[in-house]
């Protein structure tokens, strides 16, 4: 098992923190890789750092998108069920409830998640 000295571990964390900050600020992966090389990393290490961060970011976006789609679908379908249920139960006076808020905002959240997947 390889032992990493605390100073090496801190250096690695600092490199990742710097690269992550640059990506969050809108720098393209190739630009971040060039910045890391300018700061003294070799090409392979810089590429690995950027690749790892890009993969982690994609996974986080996909997870958030799936969550938005799931909750959006539940709210939208729940609103539709309530609307259909109250419409079916409306007898005599014919009054029923349209759960438009749940349907509308659930749909918006679902499509927000769908658009996140296409980014």
Helix (H) or strand (E) holding 19: helix 6-24
What is the structure's pLDDT at 5?
A: 60
The verdict on residue 21 lying in a domain is: yes
| Domain annotation covers residue 26 | yes
* Residue 54 forms part of a structural domain: yes
1 lies in a domain?
no
Stretches where the chain sits below pLDDT 70 are: 1-6, 92
Range of 47's domain?
Answer: 6-117
pLDDT the model gives residue 78: 97
Whole-model pTM: value is 0.71
Instruction: Kindly state whether residue 15 falls inside one of the protein's structural domains.
Output: yes
33 CB neighbour count, 10 Å cutoff: 22
Q: Is residue 81 a part of any domain in this protein?
A: yes
**28, part of any domain:** yes
* Residue 6 confidence (pLDDT): 62
The total number of structural domains that make up the chain: 1
**So what's the pLDDT on residue 8?**
83
> Is residue 34 within 8 Å of residue 49, measured between CB atoms?
no
pLDDT of residue 2: 66
- Cβ-contact 54, 22 below 8 angstroms: no
Q: What pLDDT is stored for residue 88 in this prediction?
A: 87
Supply the pLDDT for residue 91. 74
């Amino acid at each position: 098992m390889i032992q990493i000295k605390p100073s090496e571990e801190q250096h690695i964390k600092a490199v990742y923190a710097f690269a992550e900050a640059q990506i969050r600020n809108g720098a393209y992966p190739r630009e971040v890789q060039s910045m890391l090389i300018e700061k003294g990393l070799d090409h392979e290490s810089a590429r690995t750092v950027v690749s790892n961060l890009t993969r982690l970011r994609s996974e986080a976006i996909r997870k958030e998108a799936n969550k938005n789609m799931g909750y959006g679908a539940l709210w939208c379908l729940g609103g539709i069920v309530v609307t259909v249920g109250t419409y079916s139960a409306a007898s005599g006076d014919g009054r029923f409830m349209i759960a438009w808020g749940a349907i509308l905002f659930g749909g918006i959240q679902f499509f927000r998640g769908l658009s996140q997947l296409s980014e």
